[in-house]
Amino acid sequence: MHTSLNKKALLVALVVTLACVVISFYGSRKLQNFDPALIAYLFGTLFALFGGIYRYCVWLQRPPTWMYFRRTWQFVFSGSFFVHLYYLAADSVKNLLFQRFIYPRGKKRWIAHFLLATGCMAAFAITIPLTLGWINFTLDPATALDPGTTRLYYANFFGFQVMSFKLGSVMAFLIFHALTWCSWLVIAGAVFFMVRRMTNAGLIATQTFEGDLLPLILLIIISVTGLGLNYSYAFMKGMAYDFMAVTHAISVILFLVWIPFGKFFHIIQRPAQIGAHIYKKEGMKRGMAVCPHTGQAFATQLHVDDLKTVTQQLGFDFTLENGSSHLDFSPEGKRSLLAKAHLQARQEGGNLFG
Amino acid sequence: MEVTAYKTDMEFFVDMQRCIGCKACEMACAECETNGHQSMIHVNYVERAVSIQTTVQVCMHCDDPVCARVCPADAISKDDFGVVHSANTARCIGCSNCVMACPFGVPIKEEKYDMMMKCNMCYDRTSAGKKPMCATVCPSQALFYGTREEISRMRPNSTPVNTFIFGQQTVTTKVNIMMPKGSTHLKVH
Amino acid sequence: MARLPASPEKIIHEFGPHLNYAPQEGYPGRDEPDKSVKTHCCFCGMQCGIQLLVKNNKVVGFEPWMEFPFNQGRLCPKGVQRYLQDNHPDRLLGPLERAEGVGFKPVSWEHAMDRTVSEIRRIQQTYGNDAFSVLSGVSLTNEKSYLMGKFARVALKTANLDYNGRLCMVSAGAGNKKAFGLDRTSNNYEDLEHAEVIIVAGANVSETFPTLTHWIWRARDNGARLIVIDPRVIPLARTADIHLPVKPGTDSALYGAMLKYLADHDMLDHDFINNHTTNFQETLDAVKDYTLEWAESVTGIEKEKIQQAAELWGKAKTSFLLHARGIEHHSKGVENVLGCINLVLATGRIGKPYCGYGTITGQGNGQGGREHGHKCDQLPGNRDITNPAHRQYIADVWGIPEPELPGKGLTAYELIEAIHRGEVKGLLSICFNPLVSLPNNNYVREALEKLEFYVCIDFFLNETARHADVVLAGSLHEEEDGTVTTAEGRVVRIRRAVTPPGNARPDTDIILELAERLGAGDKFRYADTEAIFNELRVASKGGTADYYGITYKKIEDNMGVFWPCPSEDHPGTPRLWEDRKFATPDGKAHFNPVKYRDPGEVTDDEYPVVLTTGRVVSQYLSGTQTRRIGKLVGLIPEPLVEIHPVLAAQYGIRQRELVRVTTRRGSGEFPANIVETIRKDTVFIPYHWPGKKSANQLTPGTLDPVSKIPEFKVCACKLEPLGKISAPGEAHAFDSI
């Protein structure tokens, strides 16, 4: 599936990437607000966008993924739309913004992941629009020339002024150092996970370097060099600035280019969890499937029926001779059926042992 | 995963008629480092009202794992040794497709984690050349982990079978079930 | 002493039982332990080898011990979870003293010891030495068992010492001594491997000795036929070739009829009977009327099945007969055991490869603990306390004049009765929780309330200890070195993995200090536990349980040594009687006539249903340890009363409906588990739970006249559905009051 070029995905990715270029061209007022120092980052970002969309589309075309995708939107747009929308929003805040589902897996793990995720997402929110020239900051010319007044800055979005703040104000401090805060959050989270991955025997056994450790290393390098760039001027008299600038650029671009393929794709994938929640919620309204063996409800009938379709699309056929399906049985029922069949075979074989 | 002492001549052999339902495997499974004190193995009564029969089920590690194929999030993978791994925690979206599609009823949806977990044949142990916890402790050896030669010596009247028929579907697995001598498959329905 | 010092809720709040779980990702340090200690599981007589992982003086996990020959890494759920008794929040960290209205308050060792010794002195001076009693237990090591016996006789000078083996395998011990002159399983379990026929009588192997299942299954892989005798279809019985669902209390009728069948069809080993046994004819005469029809009418087993079983047993060339509490916990326990032994002797299949017989000892050190003198009638080496020569030998070893050695005392249950009567005023208990484990436990509670002084040595405040005046914080299995003897008769090494936490002390230290303070210090000077063992070796020398040739080094080098082992160059004796020289005075094995008689209590109109009790796989005995381990409690959270659907229908009982089960002793409420795997006239309740969930509120104190074992396995009850469905886990059974 990933080996040959997927034309549908290619087309969508191209269109979206081009659209982004067009928006950015006009958003930066025909490149007037564009910062040429960020050119390498720009291409990295565009590639990440292209690759991410391509991969996403390929992914969506897999039968189980498409089933969930289709069902999710079908449910959202059926019945009381606003109720669904509210659920969607609330669940997104809970599970995407706060990653609440990690909390039961471990309190420290959740804190670390929350720091890491918040740092990353905030950094994306700042750097991507900056890189694409969607936002820029301008100095109020009046205050710039008058040494007696505090300088006033404007923040512009797509060239439209959206806010202003004075140099030296709390707001200015927060905005100009936003990436510093992000870096610290990322470092704290990533270091926790690095330590965990190096000491937890279970993880050591199952992790891979490129899949699990490299992403953390990359994040740490990005954050540390990012901080270095900042502190190099503030505290170190510009020492090693060039080295850090180059390392930072390379690691960021690597990170961007890698988003569609590696561990970071889970950031893009995660919203599907919200879909799975809606699917289950709506499925329950439509009725539960009862296992013929245990007599207990075990899943939504919708899920069982959809899975019959999906497995057939994937080339499996669990249809039984009587027209029902092996998939009609609950996990416990399936295990019991196997044991009963095994007992029967053993009995027919004449000996349960040996 | 990269440095490994996995012994490829060792295989898993299950015989649920030997199971006494003691759940030593269930307790021991939770001691495996890869699943954080959660047990992944299943022991259940088949029909308690009429029989004391219990069955024990580990992941069969299918050659073409349905769980992985129905996963919408590409969270389940099979490695070069044929071990089908538990869901990648970052990817799994907790949809339960694998739980419902697995013909052996193996994957578990951990509701509190909103994530699927399953047996990975004690990868922390098997990749270090050790036996899985469940098969090590199993007092009835309903779960046995060793070489084909060992099992054929110990149970000369049984044949390991790894082909299962569920209606129209034939599933082949890495894990074997011990059947009467000469059997080639187990027809479940 | 009197009632509880505070409400049971308050005591439980402070001392548990609380459930211990490992942290979500295991105890830190489990992957890189400081050491892994090869020792044994503390639960049950199999004594499976296990390695405990230790980090910073804490047990943080386990690793299977693949090389130990009996279990080769295999474990049951209790074994897997055993490490969680360490690091337990309920662990007693120092001595406690009863405080009215408060419960228990911590005191110094000095104070606790002082108080204990002065109370012992007061009671013994006022009422006589025998008014202070000791109840011990056989989860203790050989060294501690030996020490408790010596402590009671030499330091306390009391005759009244007995142990919880009295509720375990004494019927088997008494039967074996009568028949063979020696009390040990005749073979090690590897002899099961090629036995053609295996009888398992009253032994729920797969739940109480799960790791023994392997050896029985190995035999079946090799073609063995399995006969299971049990009122329930236990897991072993499901796949057995013949299951004989015997009516509780009628076992000896079955064995009698089988013996008659063997004789009638000449399936006997005449050579063996003539040359190596006595009493055969009298024994046969006793069963001359026991036809299959008669046996069917008594035992409730179809006569065809009895015949099949007798045929299989009679024609086999090799065989192994195993039994356990199911036939021993009876007022006819010894007779049942002798009935089994008669079947073995009649076929002469003993003392040969793959020909075996034995009881499966229940407790951790049920074998070794019953050999070295902490039984009321016994001295070390399984010597007889009433035999003058035996007395003289031990008195010499202990350095006391023979007349100073007390005589035979009361057995455990008789001791409770004596406390009730006011004859015994003081008690020291260790490793025994009679309030859960003895029958008719309301009666036991009343007895405890009459004690003037009760001191308990334990690592958790068990249900009985709540009645204590002083509690001395002792040590867990993994906190002291020593040896135990497995159900096979294999002496193995228990290795200390950690030291006791807080101010808790090794049991041995506590006993030695008490001896010192009681003025017997000069008889209790040991450099370490090995020194105690070396004295035990000498004390056992020449006895039937002869350990003289066993040393710590030899055990370690060989992963265990089978007694008897009379000299250091002796390899030990895995299989007894190969020389056909039995340990009886005449050197022959003795048949014993067994006439059938009714159990102590039979059903009538008022109490029409048979009640039998037993165990579940996830709990060990009175549950002091296992009711504190979260996952074990989770496996089987509460006792259910098993009822056949036909019987349930008679009373209109529904699945999981609460049923009040009443006997002449008391009543308890249990959710019903309606299953076809039990006799239609019998209900079953497991006994590990305390208080209102205790099966032993119901059981009778009827004792076997010889072994004095209580009749846990049969009494009459009535059933009353209460109309309320009880959801699983609704009843908080593990800490029920």
Interchain CB contacts (distance < 8 Å): A and B: 204
Pairing of strands C35-40, C49-55: antiparallel
Structure tokens at A47: 């590639």
At A139, the pLDDT band (50, 70, 90 cuts) reads confident
Q: With pLDDT > 90 as the criterion, what percentage of chain B qualifies?
A: 89
pLDDT at B30: 93
Residue A45 — φ and ψ, nearest 5°? -65, -45
Global pTM reads 0.93
Q: What is the mean pLDDT of residues A179-200?
A: 93
pLDDT at B1 over 50: no
Residue C73: left (phi > 0), alpha (psi -120 to 50), or beta?
Answer: left
Confidence band, pLDDT 50/70/90 cuts, at residue A239? confident
User: Which site among A200, A334, A347, A348 would you substitute to test the B interface, given the most B Cβ atoms closer than 10 Å to its Cβ?
Assistant: A334
- Mean predicted confidence (pLDDT) in C42-56: 96
In the CATH scheme, what is the code of domain C96-167+366-478+506-534? 3.40.50.740
Chain segment C255-269, per-residue pLDDT in tens: 999 999 999 999 999
B4 touches chain C (CB under 8 A): no
Q: Identify which of B44, B90, B112 has the shortest CB distance to residue A266.
A: B90
Task: Name residue A150's amino acid.
Answer: T
Instruction: Return the pLDDT at A3.
Output: 52
Q: Looking at A203-207, C600-604, C673-677, which range is the least confident one?
A: A203-207
B48 touches chain A (CB under 8 A): no
Mean pLDDT of chain C: 96
Contact C236 B48 (CB under 8 A): no
**CA of A72 vs chain B CAs: smallest distance (Å):** 12
Res. C725: pLDDT tops 50? yes
Greatest mean pLDDT among B102-106, C27-31, C441-445: B102-106
Is the confidence at residue B46, as pLDDT, over 60?
yes
Local confidence band at A4 (pLDDT 50, 70, 90 cut-offs): low
Residue B2 has pLDDT above 70, yes or no: no
> Does residue A43 register a pLDDT over 90?
no
B30 touching chain A per CB within 8 A: no
Among B48, B138, B155, whose Cβ lies nearest the Cβ of C74? B138
Question: Looking at residue A41, what is its pLDDT?
Answer: 86
Residue C327: how many CA atoms within 13 Å on its side-chain side? 35
User: What's the pLDDT at C371?
Assistant: 93
Mean pLDDT across the stretch A21-28?
84
Give the separation between CA C303 and CA C309, rounded to whole angstroms.
10
Query: For residue A236, what pLDDT is reported?
Result: 67
- In this predicted model, what pLDDT tens digit does every residue of C487-509 receive, in sequence order? 999 999 999 999 999 999 999 99
Record: contact C221-A353, CB cut-off 8 A: yes
Position A34 confidence tier, pLDDT thresholds 50, 70, 90: confident
Task: Determine the pLDDT at residue C597.
Answer: 96
Q: Which residue has the tokens 């911590």?
A: C106
CATH 2.40.40.20 fits C609-725, yes or no: yes
- DSSP structure string for C661-720: EE-SS-EEEEEEEE-SSB-TTEEEEE----GGG-GGGTS---B-TTT--B-TT-EEEEEE
How many angstroms separate the CA atoms of A75 and A13, rounded? 26
Give A130→chain C minimum CA distance, Å: 42
Which pLDDT score, from 0 to 100, does residue A2 have?
46
Mean pLDDT along residues C463-469: 96
Chains in touch with C (3+ beta-carbon pairs under 8 Å) read A, B
pLDDT at C151: 97
- Number of CB atoms found within 10 A of residue C289's CB: 12
d(CA C281, CA C260): 11
Contacts with B, C 599-628, CB within 8 Å: 617-618
Question: Helices A214-234 & A241-258, crossing angle to 10 degrees?
Answer: 150
Rounded Cα distance, C200 and C211, in Å: 15
Given this model, what pLDDT does residue C39 score? 97
- Residue A122 pLDDT grade (very low, low, confident, very high; cuts 50, 70, 90): very high
Chain B residues closer than 8 Å to C217 by CB: 18, 140-141
C266 and chain A in contact, CB less than 8 A: no
Q: Do residue B17 and residue A299 have CB atoms under 8 angstroms apart?
A: no
Mean pLDDT of C573-579: 96
The residue ranking higher by pLDDT, C211 or A38, is: C211
The CATH architecture assigned to B10-187 reads 2-Layer Sandwich (3.30)
SS3 C237: helix
The mean pLDDT of C111-138, rounded to a whole number, is: 97
Q: Compute the distance between CA of residue C433 and CA of residue A226 in angstroms, rounded to an integer.
A: 66
Distance from C463 to chain B by nearest Cα, in Å? 27
Q: Cα angle at B13 between B7 and B17, to 5 degrees? A: 160
∠ Cα C237 C238 C241 (to 5°): 70
Contact flag A201-C24 (C-beta cutoff 8 Å):
no
Burial C559-587 (b: 16+ CB within 10 A, else e): bbbbbbbbeeebebbbbbbeeeebbbeee
Homologous superfamily of C170-359: Dimethylsulfoxide Reductase, domain 2 (3.40.228.10)
The CA distance from C241 to the nearest CA of chain A, in Å, is 10
Nearest-angstrom CA–CA distance, C719 and C698: 12
Is the Cβ pair B70, A266 closer than 8 Å?
Answer: no
Percentage above 90 pLDDT, chain A? 52
Letter string b/e over residues C382-401, b meaning 16 or more CB atoms within 10 A of that residue's CB: bbbbeeeebbebbbebbebe
Residue with structure tokens 């004859």? C423
Domain boundaries in chain B?
10-187
Percent of chain C past pLDDT 90, that is, above it, reads 96
Residue C1 has pLDDT above 60, yes or no: no
- At B3, is the pLDDT very low, low, confident or very high (cuts 50, 70, 90)? low
Q: Does the predicted interface ipTM exceed a cut of 0.85?
A: yes
The pLDDT score that the predictor gives to residue C25 is: 82
Q: Would you state the pLDDT for residue A89?
A: 93
pLDDT given for residue A230 in this prediction: 79
Arithmetic mean of pLDDT, C586-605? 96
For chain C, domain boundaries: 96-167+366-478+506-534, 170-359, 609-725
Q: What is the mean pLDDT of the segment spanning A217-230?
A: 90
